[in-house]
Amino acid sequence: MYLSVTIISLNEQFLVNNMNESQMKMKKILIVGTGFSGAVIARRLAEQGHVITVIDQRDHIGGNSYDARDDKTDVMVHVYGPHIFHTDNEVVWNYVNQFSVMMPYINRVKATVNDQVFSLPINLHTINQFFSKTCSPDEAKKLITDKADKNITDPATFEDQALAFIGKELYEAFFKGYTIKQWGMEPKELPASILKRLPVRFNYDDNYFNHKFQGMPKDGYTQMIKNILEHKNIEVKLKSIFCKEEADSYDHTFYSGPLDEYFNYQNGRLGYRTLDFEKFYHEGDYQGCAVMNYCSVDVPYTRITEHKYFSPWEKHEGSVCYKEYSRACTEKDIPYYPIRQVGEMELLRSYLTLAEQEKNITFVGRLGTYRYLDMDVTIAEAMKTADLYLDSLNTGNVMPVFSVEVK
């Protein structure tokens, strides 16, 4: 009897010790932002037993990938601009398929130029139509080589690079006006690095993306992110703006808000482009495709998106479309595309120096690291960040303020 009691009490002691150890390892984490960055980190850490609070200043989850059904037409609308999921990363593709049924979707973009409609990216059809020819692939290669500006041997600007690749006519028709509207500056002010490869295909492939996997979530991105966040260890608080003091009651913070905002813009504002969307309705079918670019500067918008085409498996009588305008981002606007020109990079470096002095925080995502990131890259980086944090708990290494190269 005595022996058995001793054994029981030893077991209990063992359990208590073990509980304390696991409880000690369990961290209280704050995540700022419910976009893909925040959601993926939250899920990965929650699955390892950590207790997560995710806050967002908006009244909805999903960050800029947020979509919602239009009241009038019931069409699923990508509220912050069209989002197409495409990736070569099989791990990421399997991950999104875990949280959503991914429907087959191929992005085929058209462009209106000089009162004609062309296919993008520039392919054999575009070339033949544009030059009124019937070139074979080899003939088209020769044509483009002949058109390319051979006097430009060391292109420094976007304009020079484009002229060196495809020549004046195609550059002016498809790139010049669109770039001026998109970035609010002349292509000769932009670096050549923007156009890394020849932007032309010598076959009739009009799939806008080259990636192995491409698709659309059947029930939308918001539902996918809701599924990612659905875990007993995750609490989501909307309409909740981050303040630094809040972080003190957590073991670690992952911050996917704007880097300059975190420091109260003390060195100035990082430059972004913002977008204005002009919504309109159409009975039936407005343009016959999801995305129509308008390349001329004479048309003030860059493109029109007809959102029912992003869900080709659904049927809708009515249609909702958006004209998209790009302009410089002011204090009141939503930051969309980081500009990352020389001036901004200098400012960025000053914020990176400040960030490196912070403790128990990691800056993540498109706003936290001031980079344009596609969703697949965002997810891959978020997975890596969470793994790095878990590793830091095991090894005792300090979790870095940035888990990726930002400069």
Ligand X SMILES: Cc1cc2nc3c(=O)[nH]c(=O)nc-3n(C[C@H](O)[C@H](O)[C@H](O)COP(=O)(O)OP(=O)(O)OC[C@H]3O[C@@H](n4cnc5c(N)ncnc54)[C@H](O)[C@@H]3O)c2cc1C
Task: Tell me which residues touch ligand X (CB under 6 A).
Answer: 32-38, 55-58, 63-65, 81-85, 241-242, 256-257, 261, 275, 336, 365-367, 373-376, 378
CB of 297 to ligand X, least distance (A): 20
Catalytic residue among 44, 201, 366, 371: 201
Sheet holding 252-255, edge to edge: 234-237, 51-55, 28-32, 252-255, 361-363
In the bound state with ligand X, the residue whose beta carbon lies nearer, of 124 and 259, is 259
DSSP string, 134-150: ---HHHHHHHHHHHS-T
Cβ–Cβ under 8 Å, residues 237 and 53: yes
First and final C-alpha spacing in the chain:
69
How far does Cα 403 stand from its chain's mean position?
17
- Both tokens of 96, joined, read 């999104």
DSSP character at residue 60: S
Instruction: Check if 303 is active-site.
Output: yes
In the bound state with ligand X, the residue whose beta carbon lies nearer, of 170 and 225, is 225
In the bound state with ligand X, the residue whose beta carbon lies nearer, of 45 and 127, is 45
Instruction: Check if 58 is active-site.
Output: no
Instruction: Check if 340 is active-site.
Output: no
CB of 252 to ligand X, least distance (A): 16
**In the block, residue with structure tokens 């960055």:** 37
Catalytic residue among 56, 70, 260, 324: 324
CA distance 384 to 260: 23
Q: What type of residue is 139?
A: E
Instruction: Check if 69 is active-site.
Output: no
In the bound state with ligand X, the residue whose beta carbon lies nearer, of 81 and 199, is 81
Exposed e or buried b per residue across 97-126, where buried means at least 16 C-beta atoms within 10 angstroms of its C-beta: eebbebbebebebbbbbeeeebbbbbbbeb
Catalytic residue among 59, 71, 197, 298: 197
Nearest residue to 215 via CA among 305, 68, 86, 66: 86
CB of 231 to ligand X, least distance (A): 17
In the bound state with ligand X, the residue whose beta carbon lies nearer, of 135 and 404, is 404
In the bound state with ligand X, the residue whose beta carbon lies nearer, of 147 and 273, is 273
Instruction: Check if 273 is active-site.
Output: yes
User: Which three-class secondary structure state does DSSP give residue 19?
Assistant: helix
CA distance 388 to 398: 10
Give catalytic residue positions.
Answer: 197, 201, 273, 303, 324, 372, 374
